[in-house]
Every structure is written in C-alpha cells, then in structure tokens.
Amino acid sequence: MVADSSSTIAWLITATALVMLMTPGVGFFYGGLVRKKNFISMISLSFIAFALVSIQWILLGYSLAFGSDISGMLGNLQYLGLNGVSMNTGEAGYPPLLFMIFQMTFAAVTVAIVTSGLAERVKLSSFIIFSLLWTTLVYDPICHWVWGGGWLASLGAIDFAGGMVVHISAGFAALAIALAIGKRAGYGQYSLEPHNIPMTLLGAGLLWFGWFGFNGGSALAANSIAVNAIVVTNTAAAAGALSWMAISWYYGKPSSLGMVTGAVAGLGTITPAAGYVTPLTAVLIGAIAGIVCYKAMLWRIKSGMDESLDAWAVHGVGGFMGTIFTGIFATTAVCSYSGLLEGNIHLFTANVIGAVVVTVYAFIVTYVIAIAIDRTLGLRVSEEEEYVGLDLSQHGECCR
C-alpha cells in the first residue's frame, strides 16, 4: 500500500517529535544513574547536545551526510546552510526540509548517548568542542556511508533505523572517550551508586515511547513497513526487559534498573532490523540482546573500565548484534531483502563488514578527538571541581 503525501507528512512530523523526546529521555535516564551532585550536569549535557547538533546540522552536517556523494566517503556541500533544501513535497511524498529535521533528531540523540563515557568528570567547554567535532568527523561520515549513498550502501549493507549509524557509533565512541578521559575519582574504591532510580525509569519510558518514532518513522511513509517496525520495536523491548530481568534474578535480585536497561538493549538491537524482520524474530532478537548486553556490562565492570553508564554494553554491543542479525534474519515476508537464512550470503557479509568498519572508525576517531582536546583544552574538570560536583562547578546550580 502506498501512502498519500499528506499522511506521510503527518506521520513524519509526529515521528520527528517522538525522536526529539528521546534526547531529554537519555538525559533523564543517565541523570538518575549519577550521583546527586552531577544530576543537573548530566541532564544538561543532553539538552546542550541537542542545541549544538541542531545548529551544526543546518549549517554543515546535513550536507555532509546527505549531499551528493564524493567517492563514497562524504556528501558535498550543496546543502550548506540548507541551500536548496525545499519545503515543498517532492517525489518521495514529503518535503526534503522535513526529512532534514527528522534526521537531525537522530544525530542529536546519538551525541547524547555518547555522554555516558564522560559522566561526572567532563569540562563543559571541552564537551561543546568535542560534540561539534564528533558530529562532523564521526557521525556525519558514517551516516553518509550508510544512508547517504556512500560506500557501505553501495556494498549492499542495510540499516533500517541506526544500528550502525547511531548505536555502534555512539556505544564505541563512549568507550573510547571513557578510556581517554580516565576513571572517575574514587572509581573502584568506594560506592558510586545511582542517586535517583525513579528518574532513570522515567527516562527509559520516554526512550521506549520515542523509539516508535525512531524506528517507525524510518519507513519514511505511513505504511505497512512502519506498522511492522513499531510492532517489532515494542516486542524486542519487552523481550529484552524480561531476559535481562531473568538473568539478573538468577545472579541476584531482579532490579527495576536492570529491567529497563534490558528494554533499551532490546530497542537498540532491533533498530537496524526493524523494517526487515517478523515479530517472532523480534522476540528472539530482544531476548538475546538482554542476555548478551548484560554479560557485556559485567565484563566491562570486571575489566575496570569506567564507561560510566554502559552505552558501550547496551548501545554498542546491541547495535553490533542487531546489524549482524539483520543480515541473518531479513525476510521477504516483510521487505524486499533476504538474509542468510533465506540463502543471501551477500547481505550478511555486507552487514558484517559494515558493523566492523563502523566500530573501528568510531572508536579510533573518537579516541583521537578526545586525546587532542585533552592535551590542548583539558577534557576533564579539576580534582576539586570533580569533588564538589559538576552541577556547582560547571553550572553554578545544585539539586535540592
């Protein structure tokens, strides 16, 4: 069924609003996980990320991601300052200007996810510089490779709503910046417990809600693919929540925090496959995501890495798995693609290559950016500022 332009426009406007809500959702999710003295700072980083990316995307980012292809690597500058991006409905059934802002919300939430790796110790001025450089040098090129007609798209890799573009890039970037910035003071010596778990549960609820626009909107039409994407999104989230809860119960207590983290793991893992797999497959994908991401978190803790809020374990590992699962489980019963189970080894191989290359690129370039900023401007606050807390030292505010 082909949707008319008015229904498509209405759905994409709605989806844009839903995805926008995910950025403060990340802030609330992360904010509840940090100590009280860094609560305002953690939420603020997400809002700042949204504001920065909103301007960067209009001035430069959209053109780098979706401008005419240059050797498969980057878009040209034809849309610089949104030059030539029309507000009128085109052949696709929606205005290019609407597609631009829909994609902008993806870029913003990706930067917000990366803040996991520098929680409770980043200098605000350095975060601003990092965000602008990271969006320009990491997110925009990867977005072009996959969605803008770049080399991964030409290779045959598919990513429905951001397994590679959003989750692998953000998760492995968070790990890289955590290694570059160093551990929080006192990490491994005394408890750094979350101060407000109900706030994290609220953030998870906003993310789950917003994800319907994130995945459903990526159909770019009000059609059956959008419906399937929403159904499998909810299914994988539910399966992830239950499997994480079950395995954590086996090892101890079935915490509410673990349950919602499992839901986010299921959401991140289904994202690249949402337009290509059936609801029953989504149950399997979500269940595996909850277990594997939980194990990844335990490994990260055992290894002593202070990737504070587990974007790597949840988004990075989940996005990587989901990209591979897409190459395995994509089915012509839902879409025009067939995966490995239907005999298409080419799609599977292309997605494996895409997952590995995006992982390596995001990690290395992020680490280089972080080290460069650290050696010039200083990436983290002073020991005294960290002790006082970022709410006071960076914002002059406190949470009472």
pLDDT in tens, 210-250: 999 999 999 999 999 999 999 999 999 999 999 999 999 99
- pLDDT per 10-residue tile (average), the chain, 400 residues: 77 98 98 95 98 98 98 97 93 94 98 96 97 98 98 98 98 98 89 92 98 98 97 98 96 93 98 98 98 97 92 98 98 96 98 98 98 97 95 87
Which tens digits make up the pLDDT trace of 9-18? 999 999 999 9
Residue 249 has a CB neighbour count (10 Å cut-off) of: 13
Could you write out the three-class secondary structure of 319-346?
A: HHHHHHHHHHHCCCCCCCCCCHHHCCHH
Residue 1 is predicted with a pLDDT of 42
Q: Of the candidates 27, 113, 145, which has an alpha carbon nearest to the alpha carbon of residue 319?
A: 113
What are the residues whose beta carbons fall under 8 Å from the beta carbon of 382, sequence distance 6 or more?
Answer: none
Name the one residue in this structure whose structure tokens are 């030409």.
Answer: 154
Name the one residue in this structure whose structure tokens are 């989806």.
Answer: 15
Q: Of the candidates 49, 45, 75, 72, which has an alpha carbon nearest to the alpha carbon of residue 60?
A: 75
Instruction: State whether residue 122 is helix, strand or coil.
Output: strand
Residue 189, φ and ψ in degrees, nearest 5: -105, -35
CATH topology of domain 5-395: Ammonium transporter fold (1.10.3430)
- Let me know how long the chain is: 400
**Pairing state of beta strands 69-70 and 74-75?**
antiparallel
